[in-house]
Amino acid sequence: MSRTVFGRPLRSVLFDVAVSAWVVLFAVAGVISAPGGWKSTLIGVAMAVALLFRRAHPSAVGAVVAALALVQVILDWEPLAFDVAVLVAMYSVVKYADRLRDGLIAGVVGLIGVAIAARGLQGEWWAGAIFLGVVCGAVWLAALNVRTRRLYVLSLEERAGTLERERDAQARAAVAEERTRIARELHDVVAHSMAVMIVQADGATYMFDRDPDTARAAVKTVAETGRQALEEMRRLVGVLRDPTPAGPLDSAAGDAAGAADESGAALSGGAQRRRLALGELDGLLARSRAAGLTVRHTVRGEPVSLPPGMELSVYRLVQESLTNALKHAGTGAHVDLVLDYTDPGFLRLRVTDDGRGRGVGAPPSGGHGLVGMRERVAVYGGEFHAGPRLDGGWEIDLRLPLPSTAPQTEGVA
């Protein structure tokens, strides 16, 4: 880490002190031969002190040094060695001033000073004027070149900082999106499993004395449902505990953003990463039937292979639909589940219930199941409808574009 003095890099401070000391040395060395004696030395020292602030206040330093040089002209002194401070001040104005206009003014003042100083030289004044003018112009052009390079470097640094901030913002957005995805998965797992377990546990409570065998079967269903939910939650947590070494925020963000297109791969690869698929709908329907629903499952048309993310989304949509039927329609309700592939380029899912079940206690409220379902469908550009039926019950109807016609890259719902 570079050290600083008064908020400025130590290296810059030492360089400015060295330049000022150089000017002071010229002023003191000429105390005997200078026309003004100690007066000229004091002017030289004042120029040297002003140069200490040339980076922070270049225009003000240029004005002070020019005013001191004007004093020399008024006193009719010839150019002295410490007048090199005039060139240093002009260089500083061109390089460090906020506006290039100040540098142009400094160049004009320098040329005027060259003309005035050349008239005080012995011999042919025009030769001295050309020499001093060339020196002054060379210093001004060198300062302009350094200024251009300095501003270019500053623009690159600013652009790099902007890109870094954008990368961090994208990283945070990707992480937030991944957290939303995991939260939605956990909601589906917990909501469905807890609904089944609550219904079965309440039923077992009523049947302990009347029908112990039925009560034991209900308790067994509770245990099996809990184990199944625990297994799914372990798979989700396994995704978060990926053994790949974690990098900085941008690496984590890249992994999180990539997870949106690799949900199937992230949930596959081993027993603990087994991906939920439509082939496991039979197990889901069996658990729903064990919970008290009467479910009829129909497949129309020729099933097609779906991407892992879409297949997982359809599974979760069915799971949430059955959960809502169990919570609101109650046990004993009749549910029709239809997967329809007959519409070219689309998969249609329709889940209806008759709303004539036997509710056990008041269903929990304030959930976000329908919101999550609508978000899942929106990811793939599908259509979603949910609402009551005219003849009683509830209906969920949605259409998802199949991969061959979907215009967008698959993401995680």
Given a contact cutoff of 8 angstroms between Cβ atoms, the answer to whether 23 and 84 are in contact is: yes
CA distance 401 to 383: 9
Q: What pLDDT was estimated at residue 122?
A: 61
Q: What pLDDT was estimated at residue 347?
A: 93
Domain ranges of the chain: 4-122, 163-401
Q: What pLDDT was estimated at residue 241?
A: 57
Q: What pLDDT was estimated at residue 3?
A: 75
pTM value is 0.45
Given a contact cutoff of 8 angstroms between Cβ atoms, the answer to whether 51 and 19 are in contact is: yes
Residue given tokens 């027993």 in the structure block: 271
Q: What pLDDT was estimated at residue 400?
A: 92
Sites in the chain below the pLDDT cut of 70: 1-2, 6-7, 30-34, 36, 120-125, 178-179, 181-182, 185-189, 191-192, 232, 235-276, 358-368, 404-413
CA distance 367 to 378: 19
Residue given tokens 């053994």 in the structure block: 243
Q: What pLDDT was estimated at residue 319?
A: 87
The identity of residue 122, as a single letter, is Q
The CATH superfamily assigned to 163-401 is Histidine kinase-like ATPase, C-terminal domain (3.30.565.10)
CA distance 4 to 12: 9
Reduced to 3 states (helix: H, G, I; strand: E, B; else coil), residue 257 is helix
